Chain A
Amino acid sequence: MSAMLVVLRKEVRESLRDRRVLLNALLLGPLLMPVLFVVLIRMMVGSEIEKAEKPLPVVVIGAENAPNLVEALRQQGMKPVYTVVDDVEAAVRNQRIDLALRIDADFARDFRSGRPAQVEIFYDSSRREVESEHMRLESMVHQVSRQTGILRLLARGIAPTITPAVLVAGRDQATSRARGAQIFLMLPYFLALTALLGGMWLAIDSTSGERERQSIEPLLACPAGRGDVVAGKLLATSIFSLASLLLGLLAFLGAGYLLPRVAPEAAMAISPGFLLTALPVMLPLVVLVSSLQILVASFARSFREAQTYLGIIQLLPIIPSVLIMANPVKEQWWMYTVPIFGQQISLLRLMRGEPVPLDAMAASAIATLAVSWILFRLTVRAFRSERFAATSG
């Protein structure tokens, strides 16, 4: 058995006996994000539906000026509330009232004489939670206004079809799967983070952990080559990272199935087919994040120090995600050659149901593995340095 396999076997065996590793790599890491996801989306979608069906309470001022209007709005789903308010503007500003409708004293006169009769809606646009209610109320008023307009035209013997001069019909070309993918915009980041977290404990334990416990000294006094030792540790870390990623993907698949009632498209974006294509895309990334963590952890002298460094690394994969969200550009070929970024745009494509071109996928894999190789060589160099092994004395 080569020294690399000996080291690999020992690191895996030792980690499987560590409850912290198991908890972090195989339970918390892969499951936390999908669970959070399901809960968040359920809350979002659920509350929208709930709101859309419930009667909308609105404080109505001057209802006596237009009882018919209020009745028409009630049929549209408004629930008039007759609270006595002195200063409606202040009340809305102080958030004592979410939404108010004021009807002018002149309303009835204007309405009867066929002039546009005015109502006012008081709302606070800086409060996002009442924005949808404001829109709903406005569309109710428009609806009543349109219906009245049609009746007026009919009464004058004019066909009501004459008023809409131009009719717009939107034809959305997004597949329902691509719409589902919108929900999972953050998924590539979550998956990269899962891969990072999966290998983190082993990366620390097998480098700075060995230095802290000073077991590195007898290890390096063995005839096994430093390259073999590092390669074994890197492979072990990658295996845990991959296991974590696999579990994470499966958990997201499960999340997709839990969501269909509220978001049917979500299940389409994350399908078993997506899982199969996402794996080869993510494999080089697993090696990259593992070698990066091993390298950085090798420079730390203690477990705690390494944890601090690796905490910073965990922010790395969020950069491409934020870039994509803040500035959605059309993907260019070169983007695939940027490690982490390449994998993230590949995943977004796959979720939309579009295959990643083979040459782009190859370029992404080669670039990522090349960087991993450099990181690996740097780690071997660190293992060769005297300060690495001689931790005390």
Chain B
Amino acid sequence: MIRAHDLWKAFGRRQAVAGVSFEAQDGRITGILGPNGAGKTTTLRMLYTLLQPDRGTVEIDGIDAAEDPIGVRRRLGVLPDARGLYQRLTARENIEYFGRLQGLDEATLRERTDRWIREMGMESIAGRRVLGFSQGERVKTALARAMVHEPRNVVLDEPGNGLDVMTLRGLRDTLRRLRDDGRCVLLSTHIMQEVAALCEHIVIISEGRVVAAGDADALRERAGEENLEDAFVRIIGASALGAAP
């Protein structure tokens, strides 16, 4: 369970996030949708304590991120936009490194690493160095790495970036499985189809603010459009013009 309440963050004079609030519940896939530069990455970075909000609070499973950042990091699995794998290590070594940093003992580590390698269907590449990996193989590795400590909450920044259709489908299945395990899955994207295909709950962000939230049907109804993409464009367009959607 991830709860963001009235988050604000400025970099110098640029107000990146201006009062974002939302809730991502367990057993549900929540999508943060917004155009480039809307403040999605900044918001997510505040969730996993990389950035400190100027104002507002983050709560993960009821733990306040400002009071206990370490406790929050234990409960989160994070897949950053850049993936950030170590090229000279094998996929397995990448996963094991983070498992150890999460404090797993060696027996648990081996069991979990094997499990997530199987779960991601990456048995054949686990022993290879990351250097020559395709985008899809990188995402699998980074996701297995994020899940090795079995977090209840998963935060993914633009998980579909650079993936081909088949890999994207595989990724969606994986995320659905995570949801079916009862986890809280939160992802950000600027691609309409991704939220439409995956998310039970959608939070639309534009210029650092939440401009609409709800499920796909609610959003269509709200914008008065049949098509979700049209609804998105309409809502974003309205907010850019400064009018209330």
19 CB contacts below 8 A, A to B, read A3-B103, A6-B97, A10-B97, A13-B89, A13-B93, A17-B88, A17-B129, A213-B82, A213-B87, A215-B85, A217-B80, A218-B98, A220-B50, A221-B50, A221-B76, A221-B78, A221-B80, A393-B41, A393-B45
> When A and B form their complex, what is the total count of cross-chain residue pairs whose Cβ atoms lie within 8 Å?
82
- Residues 201-242 of chain A: 1 if any B CB is under 8 Å from the residue's CB, otherwise 0? 000000000000111111111111100000000000000000
Q: Could you tell me if B86 and A386 are in contact, using CB atoms closer than 8 angstroms?
A: no
- Residues 61-102 of chain B: 1 if any A CB is under 8 Å from the residue's CB, otherwise 0? 000000000110110101111111111110001000110111
Q: Could you tell me if B81 and A393 are in contact, using CB atoms closer than 8 angstroms?
A: yes
B161 on the interface (CB 8 Å rule)? no
A contact residues around B71 at 8 Å (CB): 223
Indicate which residue in A17, A215, A223 contacts B102 across the interface (CB closer than 8 Å). Answer: A223
Q: Sort A-B residue pairs by CB-CB distance and give the 7 closest, nearest first.
A: A214-B82, A215-B84, A393-B41, A223-B73, A6-B100, A222-B101, A221-B78
Indicate which residue in B50, B80, B85, B142 contacts A386 across the interface (CB closer than 8 Å). Answer: B50
A contact residues around B102 at 8 Å (CB): 222-223
A contact residues around B76 at 8 Å (CB): 221
B contact residues around A10 at 8 Å (CB): 86, 89, 93, 97
B232 on the interface (CB 8 Å rule)? no
B189 on the interface (CB 8 Å rule)? no
A390 on the interface (CB 8 Å rule)? yes
A contact residues around B183 at 8 Å (CB): none
- With A1-B100, A223-B73 as given contacts, are A218 and B78 in contact (CB-CB < 8 Å)? yes
B contact residues around A18 at 8 Å (CB): 88
B contact residues around A14 at 8 Å (CB): 86, 88-89
Q: How far is the CB of B144 from chain A (nearest CB, A)?
A: 12
A195 on the interface (CB 8 Å rule)? no
B contact residues around A125 at 8 Å (CB): none
B contact residues around A1 at 8 Å (CB): 100
**Which residues of A does B touch, CB under 8 Å?**
1, 3, 6-7, 10, 13-14, 17-18, 213-225, 386, 389-390, 392-393
- CA A66 to CA B143, docked complex, whole Å: 98
- With A221-B73, A223-B73, A223-B101 as given contacts, are A214 and B86 in contact (CB-CB < 8 Å)? no
Q: Count B interface residues, CB 8 Å.
A: 36
Q: How far is the CB of B21 from chain A (nearest CB, A)?
A: 21
B48 on the interface (CB 8 Å rule)? yes
- CA A18 to CA B48, docked complex, whole Å: 31
The residue on A at minimum CB distance from B47 is: A221
- CA A386 to CA B48, docked complex, whole Å: 12
B contact residues around A213 at 8 Å (CB): 82, 84, 87
- CA A393 to CA B84, docked complex, whole Å: 14
B52 on the interface (CB 8 Å rule)? yes
B contact residues around A220 at 8 Å (CB): 50
B57 on the interface (CB 8 Å rule)? no
- CA A389 to CA B42, docked complex, whole Å: 12
A contact residues around B103 at 8 Å (CB): 3, 223
B152 on the interface (CB 8 Å rule)? no
Q: Could you tell me if A222 and B98 are in contact, using CB atoms closer than 8 angstroms?
A: yes
B28 on the interface (CB 8 Å rule)? no
Q: How far is the CB of A210 from chain B (nearest CB, A)?
A: 8
Q: How far is the CB of B125 from chain A (nearest CB, A)?
A: 17
Q: Could you tell me if A223 and B74 are in contact, using CB atoms closer than 8 angstroms?
A: yes
B contact residues around A225 at 8 Å (CB): 70
A contact residues around B146 at 8 Å (CB): 218
Apart from the given pairs A217-B84, A393-B41, 11 other A-B contacts in the complex at a CB distance below 8 Å: A7-B101, A10-B97, A18-B88, A214-B84, A217-B80, A219-B101, A221-B48, A222-B73, A222-B101, A222-B102, A386-B52
A contact residues around B97 at 8 Å (CB): 6, 10
B49 on the interface (CB 8 Å rule)? yes
Q: Could you tell me if B84 and A216 are in contact, using CB atoms closer than 8 angstroms?
A: yes
- CA A213 to CA B145, docked complex, whole Å: 17
The residue on B at minimum CB distance from A215 is: B84
- CA A13 to CA B90, docked complex, whole Å: 11
Q: How far is the CB of A211 from chain B (nearest CB, A)?
A: 10
A contact residues around B87 at 8 Å (CB): 213
B51 on the interface (CB 8 Å rule)? yes
Indicate which residue in A3, A215, A224, A389 contacts B50 across the interface (CB closer than 8 Å). Answer: A389
Q: Could you tell me if B100 and A390 are in contact, using CB atoms closer than 8 angstroms?
A: no
- CA A327 to CA B97, docked complex, whole Å: 52
B contact residues around A216 at 8 Å (CB): 84
The residue on B at minimum CB distance from A213 is: B84
Indicate which residue in A3, A7, A223, A390 contacts B45 across the interface (CB closer than 8 Å). Answer: A390
Q: Could you tell me if A392 and B82 are in contact, using CB atoms closer than 8 angstroms?
A: yes
- CA A198 to CA B137, docked complex, whole Å: 34
The residue on A at minimum CB distance from B72 is: A223
- CA A294 to CA B93, docked complex, whole Å: 24
Q: How far is the CB of B63 from chain A (nearest CB, A)?
A: 12
The residue on A at minimum CB distance from B69 is: A223
Q: How far is the CB of A12 from chain B (nearest CB, A)?
A: 12
- CA A220 to CA B103, docked complex, whole Å: 14
Q: Could you tell me if A393 and B73 are in contact, using CB atoms closer than 8 angstroms?
A: no
- CA A222 to CA B87, docked complex, whole Å: 19
Q: Could you tell me if B50 and A6 are in contact, using CB atoms closer than 8 angstroms?
A: no
- CA A3 to CA B101, docked complex, whole Å: 6
Q: How far is the CB of B78 from chain A (nearest CB, A)?
A: 4
- CA A222 to CA B101, docked complex, whole Å: 7
- CA A113 to CA B41, docked complex, whole Å: 105
Indicate which residue in A217, A223, A224 contacts B82 across the interface (CB closer than 8 Å). Answer: A217
Q: How far is the CB of B20 from chain A (nearest CB, A)?
A: 15
